[in-house]
Amino acid sequence: MSILEPSKIRVAVIRGGPSSEYDVSMKTGQHVLSIIRERPELYDPLDIFISKSGEWHRSGLVEEPHQALRHTDVVWNALHGSYGEDGQVQRLLERMQIPFTGPTSMAAALSMDKHLTKEHYKRHSLLTPRHELLRAHSYTDDHLLFIFKNYLHPVIIKPASSGSSIGMKVASSYQELREGVAEALRHSKKVLVEELIRGKEATCGVVDDFRGKRHYALLPIEIRRPKNAQFFNYTDKYSGEVEEISPGNFSSTEREALEDLAIQAHSTLGLRHYSRSDFIITPKGKIYILETNSLPGFTTESLMPKAIGSVGWSPQSFVHHILSLAL
């Protein structure tokens, strides 16, 4: 416990950071801080801001991480993307022996790398779209020609280590494939080119140690994007134009399968506290897992609070529960 406020839990909320998901992280952190501040008798909140250049700030002053986090009891990791979600900040906190929310450094590094995650899915018999991995300094035109000749089009191009659908493109021609890979490489040194699966889009959250279950699946959400959008992109996620139906219009068989798959992904990736996995259900009923987010956004517009609300749980109760797990 904090030596300054022995009756309170000092919670440092880390937000911002050097990734392309800086803006979302700022909003996630602000939402968590606003909830913590509602319980002044229990929590002593501390807002830790990390600039885009990687400088840590506490009370407006630039400080080294160990100084910024002095007297901290627990950290709420509100970072998204590189540095905060790929194991780097987790390794720092582990060395400092400060409890924190979200995955350990090893689980974070695994789940942030979409290629490693997909290989992990396949080893555990989870159906995931066929894909090719391209590396910044080793891929050639021959690799692109192979994809163009051997994949049905369009294909979807993704940076292998970024979130919020940043840098993603859909390509129907060879030129679009070249341009899409070049754009994705601006966000990651590795790029995935996948078959584009058509169907009903779903996402399902998982929370640890809730309602008597080690891993509790929240009710899946159905995502209906604008008709002119080829995938659930960054703009759609935060524009308010996407229809997010919570709980989604799924059959009982589909719902149970989505919940089971989300729990399998969460468990086999070694994640903890909470996560959210994304899926496509084809017209023939096949369910493909696309990716698992180890630190899903927790803004007022995010999917996770909607899923929490669908099971009769408040954001305040969720935050308190996750902090309890971290401690």
> Are 254 and 293 part of one and the same domain?
yes
**Domain final position from 170, 195, 220:** 195
Going 172 to 174 to 176 to 182, the CA torsion angle's sign is positive
**Sheet containing 169-171: order of strands:** 131-135, 190-195, 155-159, 169-171
Q: What is the CATH number of the domain that holds 27?
A: 3.40.50.20
Please say if the pLDDT value at position 239 is more than 70: no
> Are 217 and 301 part of one and the same domain?
yes
> Are 85 and 20 part of one and the same domain?
yes
Q: What is the CATH number of the domain that holds 273?
A: 3.30.470.20
Q: What is the CATH number of the domain that holds 151?
A: 3.30.1490.20
Which of 144, 211, 209 has its CA nearest to residue 180?
A: 144
In a domain, 22, yes or no: yes
> Are 32 and 121 part of one and the same domain?
no
29-38, 77-86, 225-234, 250-259: segment of lowest average pLDDT: 225-234
Residue 229 zone, left/alpha/beta (φ > 0; ψ -120 to 50; rest): beta
* Residue 50: CA count within 13 A, CB half-sphere: 24
> Are 87 and 28 part of one and the same domain?
yes
In a domain, 120, yes or no: yes
Percent of the chain whose pLDDT exceeds 70: 93
Count of domains for the chain? 3
> Are 222 and 320 part of one and the same domain?
yes
Please say if the pLDDT value at position 7 is more than 90: no
> Are 150 and 215 part of one and the same domain?
no
> Are 146 and 190 part of one and the same domain?
yes
Percent of the chain whose pLDDT exceeds 90: 83
pLDDT at site 245? 93
In a domain, 4, yes or no: no
How many residues appear in the chain? 327
What would the DSSP string read from start to end of 248-266?
----HHHHHHHHHHHHHHH
Beta-carbon contacts of 282 under 8 Å, excluding residues fewer than 6 positions away, are 197, 198, 199, 288
Please say if the pLDDT value at position 265 is more than 50: yes
> Are 150 and 37 part of one and the same domain?
no
pLDDT at site 242? 82
> Are 233 and 216 part of one and the same domain?
yes
Q: For residue 163, what pLDDT band results from cuts at 50, 70 and 90?
A: low
Q: For residue 312, what pLDDT band results from cuts at 50, 70 and 90?
A: very high
Q: For residue 231, what pLDDT band results from cuts at 50, 70 and 90?
A: low
Q: Answer yes or no: are the C-beta atoms of 128 and 121 closer than 8 Å.
A: yes
Work out the average pLDDT over 12-26.
95
C-alpha 228/C-alpha 214 separation (Å) is 40
In a domain, 228, yes or no: yes
The domain containing residue 288 runs over which residues? 110-127+198-326
Q: For residue 162, what pLDDT band results from cuts at 50, 70 and 90?
A: low
> Are 64 and 14 part of one and the same domain?
yes
Q: Three-state DSSP class for 107? A: helix
pLDDT at site 77? 98
Kindly report the number of other CB atoms within 10 A of residue 317's CB atom. 13
Q: Exposed (0-12), middle (13-18) or buried (19+): which is 200, by Cβ within 10 Å?
A: middle
pTM listed for this prediction: 0.89
In a domain, 35, yes or no: yes
Beta-carbon contacts of 237 under 8 Å, excluding residues fewer than 6 positions away, are 164, 165
In a domain, 105, yes or no: no
In a domain, 28, yes or no: yes
Which of 68, 113, 65 has its CA nearest to residue 90?
A: 65
> Are 74 and 209 part of one and the same domain?
no
The vertex-129 CA angle with 79 and 139, nearest 5°, equals: 80
In a domain, 3, yes or no: no
